[in-house]
Structure 1
C-alpha cells in the first residue's frame, strides 16, 4: 500500500516536536534539581512522554544535559543578536535590547542560570562553549559602544572595558534574583533601573 503523501514529513515533524519538548522539560528539571538529582523519569514525566522515548532521543542523562546546554547557548546567542539587530540605528536602544534579552531567555531556559551560579562545576565542564558565547556577547556590546561614540551619543570611553563592565552587571543581576532550586522570575523594575543608571552614565550630554 503506497505511503500517504506527506506522511513521512509529518512524522518527522512530530518527532522533532517531541524531542524539543523533552529538551525543554530537561532544562527545567536540571535548573530546579541540578544535574545529579535529575532523573530520566522526572524528565519524561515533565515532558509527557515515555522514558523509553527520552532514551531513544538522547541515550543517557549526560547526553541530554549536553544537548540542553548546547541548544540553550545557541538560542541565547541567536535571540540576543536578533533583539539587538532590530534597533541597530539606535546604539542606546541596541544596548538595552542586548541587555534585556538574556533575562527573557533565562526565564524560558532556566538551565543556563547554572552557569552564572557555577553550580556543580558546570562552568568548568562547559567552559569553552560558555566562554565563546560570552565573548560574542561582549564583542557585540563593544561594537555598539564604538558606534555610539562615533555617532556622538556615547561618551568617549574605553569600549572594551565598558563592554566587560556591562556584561558583569548583567551576570550579577542574573545571579542576584536566582534562588537555587527555583525557576528564575526577574524583577523587571530592578533590571530597568540598573540599566537606566548605566546608560545615563555613558550617554553624552
Structure 2
C-alpha cells in the first residue's frame, strides 16, 4: 500500500471535499488551503494549480483502487471464478467505503487537460483489463457460459461503480451483504455455476 506525507494527505482530503461540494470550476486554491489548514504559500509549495490537484486526486483514487484489486487477486488463486469473486469483492468494498475517491473521476475528469485525459484513460483501461482477462479466460475454459463476455464485463463494472453514488453505510444493507449480492449477480451475468456455494 502506497503512502503519502501528511501534508499531501491533508491537501488531497481538502480538495476532494471542496470539489465534491462546489465542483472543480467554483473551487479555488485559497479555499482548499483554508480547508486544509495551510497558508497559501504552503499550498503552492505542494501544488501549483487546481489542475495539478485534480490530477493528484484522480491518481490517488485510481492507485488506491488498483492496490485493493491487486491485493485481492493475489490471494484468489488461478480459478477464473474465484478471481472474479475476488475482483468484484474488492471493487464493491472500495466503491462503498471510498465514494468520493470513486466518483470524482466520473464527475470531474472532463476538467483534465488533453495530456492528462489520455493518461487517465490509460490508467482506467488497466482496471478494465483485469475484468476482461478474467472473464475471457473463464469463457475459454468453459466455466463462464455467457455468449457476450464484453457486455457482461461492462454490466458488472457499471453496477459496481454505481455503488459510489447510492450506497450509504448507515442503510439497511451491510457491506458484507452487498458483496454477497454483487458477486452472485456477477456470476449470473457471466452464467457461472460455482463448484461450491458461497454460503451454506
Whole-Å separation in 1 of the counterparts to 2:29 and 2:113: 24
CA shift in 2, pair 1:170/1:22, >3 Å: same
* Alignment of structure 1 residues 4-153 onto 2, 5 Å: 16-106=5-95, 107-108=97-98, 110-116=100-106, 118-119=107-108, 121-122=110-111, 127-153=117-143
Unmatched tracts of structure 1, length 5 or more: 1-14, 179-183
Secondary structure of 2:144's aligned partner: coil
1:92-128, Cα deviation, whole Å (9 max, x unpaired): 3322332243444454361441333x45834886542
Cα-to-partner distance string for 1:28-83 (whole Å, 9 max, x where unaligned)? 32223211232334323433333321111112222222222233223322332332
1:169 paired residue number: 159
Query: TM-score, normalised on structure 1?
Result: 0.69
Q: CA deviation at 1:22?
A: 1.5
Paired with 1:91 and 1:124, the residues of 2 have a C-alpha distance of 38
Cross-structure match for 1:198: 186
- What is the deviation of 1:151? 5.0
Indicate the RMSD between aligned Cα atoms, in angstroms: 3.3
Q: Deviations along 1:111-170, whole A, 9 cap, x unmatched?
A: 441333x45834886542343233222221122123334555432544333222222222
**Is the 2:81–2:138 contact (alpha carbons within 8 Å) kept by the matching residues of 1?**
yes
Counterparts in 2 of 1:103 and 1:162: CA distance versus 1, 3 Å: closer
The number of residues matched between the two structures is: 184
Instruction: State which structure, 1 or 2, has the greater radius of gyration over its C-alpha atoms.
Output: 1
> Structure 1 residues 49 and 96, CA, compared in 2 at 3 Å: closer, same or farther?
farther
Where does the alignment leave 5 or more consecutive residues of structure 2 unmatched? 195-200
Number of the residue aligned with 1:9: none
Structure 1 or 2: more helix by fraction: 1
